[in-house]
Structure 1
Amino acid sequence: MLPELTDPRGTSDLLLNESQAALFTSMADLGGFFGSVLNMALLMRLGHRVLLLLSLPISACAWLGAAFAHTPAMLQTMRFIVGLTGSFTLPAGNMYILEVSHKKLRGLLFGLVTTSRQAGNLLIYAIGSLGLGWRTTTLICAGVAILPVPGLLFLPNSPRWLITQGLLSEAQKSLTFYRGALYDSEPEMNAIMDQIGENGPEKNSIMAQLRMMADPSTLKTLLLLLFISLLYNFTGYNVLIAYIVPILQSASIPMDAYVSAMLIGAVRVAGTVVHLAVVDRMGRKPLLVLSYVSCAFCIACLGGYFFVQNTSGYVNSFNWVPLTSLVIFVFFTGVGQPVIFILQGELLPTSLRATGVSLILCLVFLGSFTAIRTYSLALAFMGEHGTFWLYGGVCLVIAVVSVLGLPETRGRSLEEITERK
């Protein structure tokens, strides 16, 4: 959307200047930040399924509003609402999948959700390359946003959330629905109840949640997740998604920038498919470390290319480096980044999961907003090469922190993880 909205030679009837475009790019993250604050209470009270049923139609309406916007302010407002509802659907969808999945399939099912999201990004790139216009693109987004609603109407709430509300008989029915009538759900049900305790509903108050966060073991885990989740916003991936076409144009690659963007989107999907294949075999921790070490190398190579381009100007023999580096970088983010989202839900106890994940996402959206808004400042201060070298250093820090601080969660139930971590 952004290239078309900022191209005075294009066919768009609505144009954004530089400051309006920068604000438009970051409005979704700003909406996500405020939505995550609200989400702390909404997820506990409404549950994942109901929150999804409420927020998805609002998101579709916001996309429709964007499609018919005729002023920059209207377009930016709709972008803000899309980010707001996205901060509801992202943790609700992630936690719903994590809590209803069996421990042997949890990584696979979560990976399928991630793959579908990346396939959506690829769809947007494909529509952009066809020249259908940004208004058509937003109309398609509105249609996609409403698609999950009919299916959600026939699914029960998460059994773990139901137990936190004291609805034990409904929780038993939900667990039987997701495991099958022949599955002995009694041991799993008892393990969930043992962790949550008899006073599950009383733990839903803000003060009770804060007391649980103050527990040394829980606080350590929460701070570690907050740190890693904040860092990944500064690996360069969010900036790449927001500015993919300008970055490729700046690198003077011998290929159409929009086609290259489609290629990168396809590679991201391929990375999530590989994630599906290995996350429950290789494990979370080694996958995360390997991915971000590889990302650091690739983004450093991109920085090296820009350094040579800006100093000597002779890069004709190396014009394959930018696209190759970005393709490999995006592939490994597709492999490793979903692990961070999985761990956000796996490492926190059930009673605290909704509030903890919402708090983490507050920082994630704020970090993404900051990373995108400061990208142009970083370019002016450090140049393209210095900016991408900084992103490479952040990737290495994530790998080191993962080695030193994260436990392995593969093949363990959510209750086993929080008991043994």
Structure 2
Amino acid sequence: MKMLMRADTHYSIVVSGSDYEKPKYTFSQILAAVAVSMGSMIIGFSSAYTSPALVKMENSTRISISEEEASWVGGLMPLAALAGGILGGPLVDYIGRRKTILMTAIPFFIGWMLIATAKIVHLVLAGRAICGLCVGIGSLAFPVYLGETIQPEVRGTLGLFPTAIGNIGILICYVAGKYLDWFELAYLGSALPIPFLLLMFMIPETPRWYISRGRTEEARKALQWLRGANTKIDNEMRDIALCDAEVKNDSSFKDILSMKYMKAIFICLGLMLFQQLSGINAVIFYTAKIFQMSGSSVDKHLSTIIVGLVNFISTFLATALIDRTGRKILLYISSVTMTVTLIILGTFLYIRDNLHVDVSKLGWLPLTSIMVYLLGFSLAFGPIPWLMMGEILPAKIRGGAASICTAFNWLCTFIVTKTFYNILVAIGPAGTFWLFGCICFVGLFFVVVCVPETRGKSLEQIENKMTGRKARSRRMSSIVNIKPLPSGC
């Protein structure tokens, strides 16, 4: 699944009798994380749908679909998500984070029902467009909601929920796709928004949004619910109010175009570009077709299930390593792993198709290559671009710039998924995977030259480095007033 994380600055000095309670995994915060992450499950299911479904659509007696139309079934969702990413920015600000997320549930249901009942390809395309719009809105709104509701000290673990549950959505789609026809799989997709909608009704709007609208009492109630009935929240309420005042006084959309912020935006856009041009969504959208094309000895539907499992498990591996080894080291490993596996897969296809060598004894190689490729991607280039977007974008422009980066990511996703078949026809399967491998290799140099290491640094330290600004000192009237700051700008 796709996530925006924020690392907040706090002092490590603990003061007895502080108004801040020790961070804890309250039931309320876990419920909020699960509720929002159910939306990520729908996104994961939507992204993976075409992999098992297109193979069955093309052999279906219920619907007639051409190769070009099939490419649009895969490519239309990320194109609509591009529009949703742009629309999501204003929506979360004007109607609220929770209402924006809630309003995606019913369109998700309608979109899947259109696909499930379709007897002409145009209804399938309409359903994919509606789902794609919701995917774009959700991919921006989900991390914003979690970033504003979960305590920073436990956000690393609870913040994993959207990615993990999103990967469960992919896995469910792959497993069900082995046994269900394409329209039956769509009926399953239409059931997912129901628990999502019910859980979202159980959680409140974010305290920060209430504060931004001057609804202080509602903000206090929401924060008290999230932190627990007996938790002291006075200092956190004060910090949220101060942060909101600072953003209101200083922020402007024109600042996004300021030269001092362009470096941070360029790095985020670069990471998004190499994330998508690595070919990941071509692999996720068309997993079954890739195995069918490669002549793998493993059943194509079983292969997709194995791929889903690898994608799911690797999420937890990335979480265990990301704060120990650092972002750049993992990005190096990720780039090299993807480059090597894509080159090996391309070479396998070239030897088989162009040199006409018997490779039947190597039928396990395509599955192994893609498994290792996905492991490498999920280790760094999957989660880190979203994590670093929250870390290196300055607070003053974070909302608007994040919307631009999200939309750009979906634009790249559309380009890759829509042109995948065209590239296959133009340069062949071997050339296609070699091309993706070369892009991953270029991405390695981009990381070496441009991407900063952010592990263990506060947002202020990162922002000072990115903008060339001198660090600001904090003035405290007394050592007694130095307290942990569980929420920052």
TM-score between the two structures when normalised by the length of structure 2: 0.77
2:82: which partner in 1?
A: 33
Determine if contact 1:111/1:338 at 8 Å carries over to the other structure.
no
Distance 2:259 2:215 in 1: 30
Distance 1:187 1:388 in 2: 54
Distance 2:286 2:124 in 1: 18
Q: What pairs up with 1:93-242 in 2 under 5 angstroms?
A: 93-130=142-179, 132-180=180-228, 185=233, 192-198=240-246, 200=248, 203=251, 208-209=252-253, 211-242=254-285
2:438: which partner in 1?
A: 393
Determine if contact 1:164/1:201 at 8 Å carries over to the other structure.
no
Alpha-carbon deviations, 1:327-372, whole Å to 9, x = none?
1111222222012222223333455333222211221121111112
Shift of 1:53: 0.6
Change in CA separation of 1:281 and 1:305 when aligned onto 2, cut-off 3 Å: same
Shift of 1:49: 1.6
Shift of 1:285: 3.5
Structure with higher RCO (Cα < 8 A, 6+ apart): 2
Distance 1:349 1:184 in 2: 29
2:317: which partner in 1?
A: 274
Aligned AA (1:327) = M
Distance 1:50 1:343 in 2: 27
Aligned AA (1:34) = A
Shift of 1:134: 1.6
Aligned AA (1:371) = V
Aligned AA (2:292) = Q
Distance 1:301 1:167 in 2: 58
1:341: which partner in 2?
A: 386
Change in CA separation of 1:103 and 1:199 when aligned onto 2, cut-off 3 Å: closer
Change in CA separation of 1:301 and 1:407 when aligned onto 2, cut-off 3 Å: same
Alpha-carbon deviations, 1:301-324, whole Å to 9, x = none?
111211212232222343322111
Change in CA separation of 1:347 and 1:45 when aligned onto 2, cut-off 3 Å: farther
Indicate which of 287, 290, 295 corresponds to 1:244.
Answer: 287
- SS of the aligned residue for 1:15 comes to coil
Shift of 1:116: 0.6
Indicate which of 93, 116, 119 corresponds to 1:70.
Answer: 119
1:379: which partner in 2?
A: 424
Q: What pairs up with 1:276-315 in 2 under 5 angstroms?
A: 276-314=319-357, 315=359
Determine if contact 1:104/1:411 at 8 Å carries over to the other structure.
no
Shift of 1:184: 5.9
- Unaligned 5+ segments in structure 1 are none
Distance 1:216 1:175 in 2: 37
Farther-moved stretch of structure 1 (151-160 vs 233-242): 151-160
Distance 1:243 1:252 in 2: 14
Change in CA separation of 1:41 and 1:335 when aligned onto 2, cut-off 3 Å: same
Shift of 1:241: 1.5
Distance 1:217 1:187 in 2: 32
Distance 2:269 2:257 in 1: 15
Determine if contact 2:250/2:396 at 8 Å carries over to the other structure.
no
Distance 1:143 1:175 in 2: 31
2:10: which partner in 1?
A: none
Indicate which of 29, 36, 54 corresponds to 1:2.
Answer: 54
Q: CA-atom RMSD, angstroms?
A: 2.6
Determine if contact 1:345/1:353 at 8 Å carries over to the other structure.
yes
| Number of residues of Structure 1 aligned to a counterpart in Structure 2 | 412
Distance 1:125 1:201 in 2: 49
Distance 1:196 1:73 in 2: 46
Change in CA separation of 1:361 and 1:148 when aligned onto 2, cut-off 3 Å: same
Q: What pairs up with 1:407-418 in 2 under 5 angstroms?
A: 407-410=452-455, 417-418=462-463
Determine if contact 2:265/2:393 at 8 Å carries over to the other structure.
yes
Determine if contact 1:27/1:83 at 8 Å carries over to the other structure.
yes
TM-score between the two structures when normalised by the length of structure 1: 0.89
Change in CA separation of 1:167 and 1:174 when aligned onto 2, cut-off 3 Å: same
Shift of 1:391: 1.0
Shift of 1:125: 0.9
Change in CA separation of 1:215 and 1:234 when aligned onto 2, cut-off 3 Å: same
Change in CA separation of 1:215 and 1:72 when aligned onto 2, cut-off 3 Å: same
- SS of the aligned residue for 1:147 comes to helix
Shift of 1:79: 0.6
Indicate which of 263, 281, 299 corresponds to 1:256.
Answer: 299
Aligned AA (1:373) = K
Distance 1:308 1:70 in 2: 41
- SS of the aligned residue for 1:105 comes to helix
Farther-moved stretch of structure 1 (101-110 vs 24-33): 101-110
Larger-Rg structure: 2
Shift of 1:182: 6.1
Change in CA separation of 1:154 and 1:265 when aligned onto 2, cut-off 3 Å: same
Change in CA separation of 1:417 and 1:108 when aligned onto 2, cut-off 3 Å: farther
| Structure with the largest fraction of helix | 1
1:352: which partner in 2?
A: 397
- SS of the aligned residue for 1:313 comes to coil
1:405: which partner in 2?
A: 450
- Unaligned 5+ segments in structure 2 are 1-52, 467-489
Shift of 1:197: 3.3
Determine if contact 1:95/1:345 at 8 Å carries over to the other structure.
no
Alpha-carbon deviations, 1:215-254, whole Å to 9, x = none?
3333221121112212211101111112212211121111
Shift of 1:42: 1.2
Shift of 1:188: 5.1
Determine if contact 2:247/2:396 at 8 Å carries over to the other structure.
no
- SS of the aligned residue for 1:104 comes to helix
1:85: which partner in 2?
A: 134
